[in-house]
Structure formats: structure tokens, C-alpha cells
């Protein structure tokens, strides 16, 4: 990021406007990944039997890419609604982490600001704005940075979903556009597999996802997710214990 890391003093007391536009500017590169993803969701939503309105409004109501894809796929498979909702919730619990990590920088704000910024707190906006909060000197308007990154992401997500809904029917099946979903997730997961615990989580989740295919109601997804989390957590814990005793 071309942020003012060389001249930290320069970024103190930035105006609300320059904080906002810094957030927008730094979020920009991530939009190249988000926009195709939103488009694919728009296409997939219709293919799953959701109405155009259900597909478009889900992008505002859930505002979480992976969980929306899962919602559409499970709904299309005729999975009972409670399991659809439960799976979506499990996937989205990770936001508690972002919320906890960014709280120190936002907790002094009025409630309406915290509600707005909480709603905008996605993987991508968090990743960009936490860098500004942690590495640049604090400023009285620094929350505008998250407003900028969050609003660019929100706008791109809504427009790409709408675009997907509008053009969806005209894209031929032979383009295999739905393959963009696993590809998007590969782009996220492959670079973050670093420790043995990460690999254990991925291997366990992948194995259960295949072996669990015969389970009713697509329960393989939630089982694989929970199994992967447990495996990663256990290996992590064993590593720490081994490190502590050696």
C-alpha cells in the first residue's frame, strides 16, 4: 500500500474527507476480486430458484459472499430452512474476531456510527482499515477510513450482484462461470495456509466434505466446517503444549 509509512507524522489529524478517500483508494485493488464474485452470486442466485429481488436484497441483508453462496446452494438443494440458516450463521461467526480486533478504535463513537461501521465490517474492509488503525498514527477522523473502505465494498457488491441478476440468463453454461466460486475461495485460502494447524483444518474439512456427501440435507457442509475448525484448534493446542514442554 502506498500509505504514508515513511512520514508517519504527515497522516496525523487528517480531515474526515482525506481519511474517507484513503479508505476508498486502498480498498480499490480488492474490488477486482469482489466484483466477479458478486456477479457469480447474482447468476447463481437465479439458478438456485431465488427470485431477482431475493437475490439482490440478500446482498444487503447478509452482505457476506461465502454465506450467500451457501444460502443459495442449500436452498436450491431443498435443505430444511433451519439448516440453511444454521450453516449461514456458522460461516459468519468469524466476524466476531474482526469486531473484537477493531473495537478499541471505534468504541468511543456514538451508537449510530458503531451500528453503521458494524454493518460494513466485512473481511475485505476489515483487512484494509485495520492496517490504517494499527500502523498509522491515530487521528480524530480515522473511523472515516473504515467508512470509505466499507462503502466502496458495499457499493461494488450490490452493483455486481444486480449486474449478475441482469445478465445471468445470457451467459452460456459452457463458460463454466460457476467454477469462479471455488477459484475465488482458492485465491483466499491457498496463501493463508501457513502452519500445520492450518493444513490440518483444511485437510479435515476437505475430507469430511467428500465423505459426508451422502448425509441428508447437505449436512456435509456444516459438519466439514465444524470438523475443520476442531482439527485446526486441536493441532494448534498440541503444538503449543509441545512447545511449552520442550
Partner 1 sequence: MIWFIMIAAGLFTFATRFIMLSNGISNRPPPWLVDALGFVPIAVLTAIIVPAILIDPADQTIALWDNPRLFAAALAIIAALVTRQMITTIGVGIVALWVLQWAM
Instruction: Give CA–CA dist 52/42, Å, rounded.
Output: 8
Instruction: Give CA–CA dist 84/71, Å, rounded.
Output: 6
Q: Is 220 in the site for partner 1 (CB under 8 A)?
A: yes
Q: Pick the stretch among 13-21, 127-135, 156-164, 229-237 that binds partner 1 (CB under 8 A).
A: 229-237
Contacts (Cβ under 8 Å, ≥6 apart) of 10 = 4
Q: Could you tell me the smallest distance in angstroms from the CB atom of residue 128 to partner 1?
A: 14
Binding mask 155-194 for partner 1 (x = CB under 8 A): --------------------xxx-xxxxxxxxxxxxxxx-
Q: Positive or negative, the Cα torsion across 33, 119, 227, 177?
A: negative
Nearer to partner 1, 11 or 70 (CB): 70
Q: Could you tell me the smallest distance in angstroms from the CB atom of residue 11 to partner 1?
A: 24
In this structure, the number of other CB atoms found within 10 A of the CB of residue 138 comes to 11
**Site for partner 1 (CB under 8 A): which residue of 138, 196, 233, 238?**
233
Instruction: Give CA–CA dist 111/39, Å, rounded.
Output: 33
**Site for partner 1 (CB under 8 A): which residue of 54, 76, 162, 215?**
54
Q: Is 56 in the site for partner 1 (CB under 8 A)?
A: no
Residue recorded with cell 459438519? 223
Q: Is 96 in the site for partner 1 (CB under 8 A)?
A: yes
Q: Is 221 in the site for partner 1 (CB under 8 A)?
A: yes
Instruction: Give CA–CA dist 235/199, Å, rounded.
Output: 10
Q: Could you tell me the smallest distance in angstroms from the CB atom of residue 244 to partner 1?
A: 14
Instruction: Give CA–CA dist 12/136, Å, rounded.
Output: 8
Please count the residues of this chain forming the interface with partner 1, following the rule CB under 8 A. Answer: 90
Amino acid at each position: 500500500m502506498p500509505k504514508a509509512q515513511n512520514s508517519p507524522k504527515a497522516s496525523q489529524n487528517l480531515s474526515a474527507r482525506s481519511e474517507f478517500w484513503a479508505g476508498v483508494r486502498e480498498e480499490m485493488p480488492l474490488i477486482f476480486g469482489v466484483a466477479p464474485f458478486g456477479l457469480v452470486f447474482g447468476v447463481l442466485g437465479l439458478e438456485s430458484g431465488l427470485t431477482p429481488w431475493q437475490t439482490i436484497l440478500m446482498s444487503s441483508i447478509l452482505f457476506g459472499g461465502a454465506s450467500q453462496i451457501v444460502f443459495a446452494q442449500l436452498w436450491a438443494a431443498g435443505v430444511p430452512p433451519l439448516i440453511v440458516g444454521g450453516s449461514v450463521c456458522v460461516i459468519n461467526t468469524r466476524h466476531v474476531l474482526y469486531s473484537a480486533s477493531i473495537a478499541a478504535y471505534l468504541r468511543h463513537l456514538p451508537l449510530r456510527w458503531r451500528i453503521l461501521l458494524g454493518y460494513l465490517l466485512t473481511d475485505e474492509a476489515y483487512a484494509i482499515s485495520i492496517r490504517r488503525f494499527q500502523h498509522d498514527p491515530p487521528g480524530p477522523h480515522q473511523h472515516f477510513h473504515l467508512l470509505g473502505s466499507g462503502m466502496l465494498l458495499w457499493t461494488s457488491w450490490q452493483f455486481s450482484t444486480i449486474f449478475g441478476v441482469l445478465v445471468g440468463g445470457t451467459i452460456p453454461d459452457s463458460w463454466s462461470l460457476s467454477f469462479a466460486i471455488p477459484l475465488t475461495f482458492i485465491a483466499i485460502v491457498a496463501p493463508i495456509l501457513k502452519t500445520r494447524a492450518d493444513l490440518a483444518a483444511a485437510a479435515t474439512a476437505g475430507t469430511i466434505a467428500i465423505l459426508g456427501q451422502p448425509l441428508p440435507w447437505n449436512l456435509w457442509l456444516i459438519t466439514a466446517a465444524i470438523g475443520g475448525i476442531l482439527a485446526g484448534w486441536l493441532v494448534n493446542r498440541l503444538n503449543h503444549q509441545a512447545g511449552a514442554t520442550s
